[in-house]
Amino acid sequence: MSRFLGIDFSGNHLMWRPGCGQRNVWISDVRKSGDCLVLERLLRVQGLPGNEHPLERLAALLREGDFEAAAIDAPFSVPRAFIP
């Protein structure tokens, strides 16, 4: 199953503070299953595992590379041309 990530950077730098109560910084985890794309889950960037600053946790997730493509600025922003 292929995995695609969309990252929504809504808001401003204040949204990245640890413990920030805002809920508008998200990662969509989309999987390809047969001919369908399925939204597997939505994650709050602030809820990623670890104690580092949320932006550092996001960078760690992207460094892992456990996805086919990742795109920034919209939950479903992976361009169709990059999804087999």
Task: For the chain, 84 residues long, give each residue's pLDDT as a single digit of tens.
Answer: 699 998 887 766 666 666 666 556 789 999 998 889 999 999 888 889 998 887 788 899 999 999 999 888 754 555 677 666
Domain ranges of the chain: 3-76
Residue 8's H or E segment, with its range, is strand 3-9
pLDDT digits (tens, 9 = 90+) for 6-20: 888 776 666 666 666
**What is the number of H-type helices and E-type strands within the chain?**
1, 4
C-beta of residue 62 within 8 angstroms of C-beta of residue 71: no
